[in-house]
Structures are given as structure tokens and as C-alpha cells.
Amino acid sequence: MQERYSRQILFDGIGEEGQQNLQKKHVLIVGAGALGTGNAEILTRAGVGRLTIVDRDYVEVSNLQRQQLYTERDANDRIPKAIAAQKRLREINPYVEVDGKIMDVTVEEIDRLVSNVDLIIDATDNFEIRFLINDVSQKHRIPWIYGGCVSSYGISFTVLPGETPCLNCLLETIPLGGATCDTVGVIAPAVQMVVAYQSAEALKILVEDFEAVRRKLVSFDLWKNEQSAIDVSRLRKEDCPSCGTSPTYPYLSYENQTKTAVLCGRNTVQIRPPKKVNRDLNALVTQLENQGGAIEQNPFLVSYQSEDRRVVFFKDGRVLIHGMKDIVEAKKIYHQLLG
Ligand SMILES: [Zn+2]
């Protein structure tokens, strides 16, 4: 068994003891896109004890250029990323307990998601969820590793509760920018660089070598040959609502949660029902059959195509409406189809 890990046990920073520590740890990866699949593969191969990976989307052909766990087949069958990733990770290392969850990370869910978790890796593409991660990490004292990537640019920072500033403290330092991979593109090496930063920090934390953890905010542009590391230690704010002396965890309150979101600038609106539902996909197909569009179904979702619009219904009640950014218009379609 240990032969599998022999090269990293030989490595000074890990050793036998580090490997044993690693095998006792549970990591939550939020997002199974480019950063999520990269981090998940490295930690699975490294032999982390348990890995939970959550994602709300399914595999599309435009993901395959950089989302390393997926295949053409996954895209053709519209397999949810959490399911496709789980399958591939179990093939890579059956000794890791891998749990893929198809879900949107919301205020209602996040507390339950982080129970017994030793580390959270941010692999999302939006700040709504990152601030949720940031607050829950402070509340339960769980370290998390921020990562972002767009174009040939990447950024990463490790938040250690009680020690480093948090994402909220760094609001003015981190570009929250509107550019996303869907508007300006992204190259795989930039993704891999962020994955390398995140997973190296993850290994340090999981083997409990906290002294080695990078304290600086790193960013780079691989096309422009730029690299920087900023010391942000002085930016920790005593009155920060997330990590300060009397925290209120503002992002964990239900009021701050949006139910409808335009996704990652990619011409898609997500609608989430006010309450969680368990949608009967077969009944839905019967209902949609009267409406004249093309229907495809797999065990996890139903896709309905009509003209240039595709509407995807998930079991948990969420609906993705592709081909528009207008929330009002999207809601109309939603109600038309669901009655
Ligand atoms: Zn803070």
C-alpha cells in the first residue's frame, strides 16, 4: 500500500508521519471545474483520507480543454461533474473515500457540508460562494485556500483562521473583476499553475506543516511573464465582520442570498426554487412532452431544447436556462414550462 506513496514519503516535507496524517484528513472541494478537478486529482493520487467534491453543473464540450477528469463521453451524455469526477477519482485511487455531490452550495447546505472537514479548497468561479466559504471557515476554524484563474492570469491565497487576514479583509486588494473565463477565455497552463499553488498549500496543511504554509498572496500572468507575491499580513482587520473580534458572519445570513443568478457571464441564468424540492424527472418529462421541444434525460437531469434555448432541470429543483442573461425573461420561461 505504502509503495503507492513511496515518492512523497521519501520527500522530507511529508515523510511517514506526514503520509499518515494525510490519510486521516477530509477535504472539501467546492467546484468541479478546472481548479476543482486539478486539485482533486492531486489529492486523490496523494492519498488523502476522504474527499468531498461538490458541483452544480454538468460536463460540456467546452470544458474538456482544461477540466482534466472529463472525457468526450461525459460531455455527450451531459453527466453532472460531481458524478463524472467521482467515477474517475475512484478509478485513480480506490483507497480514497470520494464523495461527489450534485448541488449548489447555499447557506442552508454549507454548515452540514463542512462538518468533519479539515480543509476547504475554493474551486468556484464566483464570489457569492467564496464569501460563504470565507464565513463558514471562520465560524468553524477551518482553513481554506482561495484560487482564481482567468485568461493567462491566476491568483491564490491561503486563509488560516485566527492567523491570516480573511477574504473580507482583502476586499480592496483582490480584483473582484467582471472578467470570467467565459468572456475572455482561459488557458490550461494558468489553471495548472493555480492548482499547483493550491494543492501544495493543501498538502502542507494536511500533513500539519503549518510553518511551511505560504503567507503571501500570489498572482501571476503566464503570457506576460509576470509574477508577484504580496505580503498582506497587515491587512487583517480587527473590526472585520467575518474574522474580527466580534464577527457576525454576514454571508451566512439568509437575506444575503440570491435565489436567481446569472452564471459566470456565460449567457445562462440559474433559477433556484425558494425551497428545496425533490423533482420527479419522469413526471417532468411527461409534462414537457406536450410543449413541443426536444427532450433528453439521464438519471440526474432533464434537458429541454426549443429553438435556440436549452433549459436543464436538476433533481434538486434548480433550473439552468441557457441562451439568455435576462433574469425576468428567464423566470417567464421557467413558469411557462413548469406551470
Ligand atoms: Zn477578515
pLDDT averaged over 10-residue windows placed end to end, the chain, 339 residues: 92 97 98 98 98 96 97 97 98 98 90 96 90 96 96 96 95 65 85 98 98 96 96 94 94 70 70 79 89 89 88 88 82 82
* Separation of CA 163 and ligand 1 centre (Å): 10
For 228-241, the DSSP string reads: EEE--GGG--TT-T
In degrees and rounded to multiples of 5, residue 175 shows phi and psi of -70, 115
Please give the pLDDT value at position 330. 82
Given phi > 0 = left and psi -120 to 50 = alpha, else beta, which region is 322?
beta
* Separation of CA 237 and ligand 1 centre (Å): 6
Given phi > 0 = left and psi -120 to 50 = alpha, else beta, which region is 76?
alpha
Grid cell listed for 182: 467565459
DSSP-derived 3-state class of residue 274: coil
In degrees and rounded to multiples of 5, residue 122 shows phi and psi of -85, 120
Please give the pLDDT value at position 194. 98
* Separation of CA 122 and ligand 1 centre (Å): 17
Return the DSSP state at 262: E
Please give the pLDDT value at position 270. 83
| Closest CA relative to residue 229, chosen from 221, 245, 218, 240 | 218
Please give the pLDDT value at position 263. 66
**Distance of alpha carbon 20 from alpha carbon 121, whole angstroms:** 21
- pTM, 2 dp: 0.89
* Separation of CA 180 and ligand 1 centre (Å): 25
In degrees and rounded to multiples of 5, residue 216 shows phi and psi of -95, 155
Residue 87 Cα to chain centre, angstroms: 17
* Separation of CA 242 and ligand 1 centre (Å): 5
* Separation of CA 146 and ligand 1 centre (Å): 14
Q: How many other C-beta atoms are found inside a 10 Å radius of the C-beta of residue 239?
A: 9
Please give the pLDDT value at position 255. 62
Please give the pLDDT value at position 260. 67
Given phi > 0 = left and psi -120 to 50 = alpha, else beta, which region is 15?
left
Residue 107 Cα to chain centre, angstroms: 15
* Separation of CA 131 and ligand 1 centre (Å): 11
Sign of CA dihedral 198, 204, 205, 210: negative
For 175-211, the DSSP string reads: ---S--HHHH-B-HHHHHHHHHHHHHHHHHHHTT-GG
* Ion ligand 1, residue ranges at CB < 5 A: 166, 168-169, 240, 242-243
Please give the pLDDT value at position 269. 82
| Closest CA relative to residue 134, chosen from 262, 223, 30 | 30
Please give the pLDDT value at position 187. 96
* Mean of all residue pLDDT scores within the chain: 91
* Separation of CA 285 and ligand 1 centre (Å): 47
* Separation of CA 243 and ligand 1 centre (Å): 4
* Separation of CA 145 and ligand 1 centre (Å): 14
Any idea which residues carry the catalytic annotation? 181
Pairing state between β 144-150 and 119-122: parallel
Q: What is the pLDDT of residues 146-156, one digit of tens each?
A: 999 999 999 99
| Closest CA relative to residue 190, chosen from 231, 153, 165 | 153
